Amino acid sequence: MGLSSRIALTALLVGLSVSTASAQNAAEADTVAKQVAGTWKNPAGGACETAYFKVGERTKTARGEDAMVGTVSDAGMVVPGQLIVRGARIGQFINTMTDKVIFIFEPKEGNKLTLTPMGPPVLSWKEVTLDLCPGSRP
């Protein structure tokens, strides 16, 4: 096999692996988006009408990462942001103005979601595991 044939074969294989990785990343984003979709309540006295976490439509971050718009509410404080569903920062809920992490989200089995405070303005909040509100997923 000549040098030009090897180069062409290598380029073909690289192209195939890149398109496969891209498809896997898109599938991962869809999986994460489905896991966090809906309205979430704090099982320690929370209600679905005044949800602790509510996620909305899909969007892109300032860095072009796949994300979902959402709000986290506790004790009268509402924190808007974006939950990253694909990329190196997957699971981070970020401040759209500063592009810095506010929470880390971790889906759990049994329709549960753990939120860990990581940055301002919620550093004094405690980690919490939320329950999905029945019928809130699209």
- pLDDT (tens digit per residue) in 65-79: 999 999 999 988 999
Per the CB < 8 A criterion, the answer to whether 65 and 50 are in contact is: no
- pLDDT (tens digit per residue) in 4-44: 555 544 544 455 444 444 555 667 788 888 888 999 999 98
In this predicted structure, the answer to whether residue 118 has a pLDDT above a threshold of 50 is yes
With helix as H, strand as E and coil as C, how does 47-76 read?
CCCCCCEEEEEEEECCCCCEEEEEEEEECC
Instruction: Quote the pTM value.
Output: 0.79
Q: How far apart are CA 93 and CA 48, in angstroms?
A: 20
Residue 113: count of CB within 10 angstroms of its CB? 20
> When comparing pLDDT for 137 and 81, which is higher?
81
Instruction: Tell me phi and psi for residue 74, to 5 degrees.
Output: -160, 135
Question: In terms of DSSP H, where are the helices of the chain?
Answer: 3-36
pLDDT range class, residue 100, cuts 50, 70, 90: very high
DSSP letter for 27, please. H
Largest CA distance in the chain: 71
